[in-house]
Homo-oligomer: A and B are copies of this chain.
């Protein structure tokens, strides 16, 4: 049986070109002692991937050249020498961008497709959902009645941030690109307001939509929007730094927040975090978010593209914003 794999070919400068990766096909090795073979079904595409292919000190080692591209994934066990995972089990892990993953099971967990559809385990009930949950609640610490602003608000993380803000009794304002996404987060997800950064004056709209200032700004994008948000923060505001997607493909130095002295004037805080640090509490988050999903308080949407060969053009959608919901690549039928 053959396994198509997306292999990292080189370290890109700026926006990755198509030859950053190549597709190879190899026989699937058998499961060794203690190993399982996972037929991968869905692969998660995340902005963080851009960082993983840089040769820079970061929170995890870079993907090696000629290695399989790193990615979260869900799939079904088709062969097992593992004492915990049986053939037929559905697993969530970091299987990489390939059709089959052979693993000793470390870091993989079993998931139940009866509870929520499998792709949701890559979105709201997975890394992006946990990122939203811990970044907002532990780092942002929103209090009832406060205003929470989030950028990338129609994305896998941002959409959950805004919905949890509403659940916690906050005013939720989202920044997204284009009228369709803005309509989606207000009409379907229940945000109070949306700012279309592609078509509106963000400075003016921040003033309109956050009349009482900003208490928590959950930043997914960096760049000019971070700078504008800094001009509207309240005393003791919290700014969880989740990412800076506007800067990931820069060939010039990153744009630092020119208005960072607003932190001083407002006794405010900018704080980075990595979801992996909260691993011991994933269960708590899954439970609470699972309940919100069941109660209809939390809505989720996946944008699924078919075919491992489409990895590259699908990856580019992360940065163009041409997607509707959590971006996922389907690489096998579940049969």
Q: Write the residues of chain A forming the contact surface with B, with a CB cutoff of 8 angstroms.
A: 57-59, 222, 227, 241-244, 247, 253-274, 277
Contacts and interface: CB of A to CB of B under 8 A. Distances in A.
A189 to B, nearest CB: 25
Nearest to A231: B57
A59 B265 contact: yes
Which of A243, A255, A257 counts the most chain B CB atoms within 10 A? A257
Contacts of A59: 264-265
Copies in the complex: 2
A277 B272 contact: no
A261 B269 contact: no
A135 to B, nearest CB: 10
Contact of A243 (B258, B264, B272): B264
13 contacts: A222-B261, A241-B260, A241-B261, A244-B261, A255-B258, A256-B259, A260-B270, A263-B270, A263-B271, A265-B274, A268-B271, A269-B269, A270-B270
A245 to B, nearest CB: 11
A270 B263 CA distance: 8
Contact of A267 (B253, B257, B272): B272
Contact of A258 (B58, B256, B272): B256
A265 B261 contact: no
A308 B222 CA distance: 46
Nearest to A266: B272
B253 A258 contact: yes
A258 B244 CA distance: 12
Given A257-B256, A259-B254, A58 B265 contact: yes
B260 A260 contact: yes
B264 A241 contact: yes
Nearest to A260: B256
Given A241-B261, A254-B258, A257-B260, A273 B267 contact: yes
Nearest to A58: B265
A242 B264 CA distance: 7
Contacts of A277: 267
A132 to B, nearest CB: 15
A79 B301 CA distance: 74
Nearest to A60: B265
A274 B263 CA distance: 10
Contacts of A259: 254, 256
B270 A269 contact: yes
A256 B269 contact: no
A221 B272 CA distance: 22
A269 B271 contact: yes
A272 to B, nearest CB: 3
Which of A57, A260, A262 counts the most chain B CB atoms within 10 A? A260
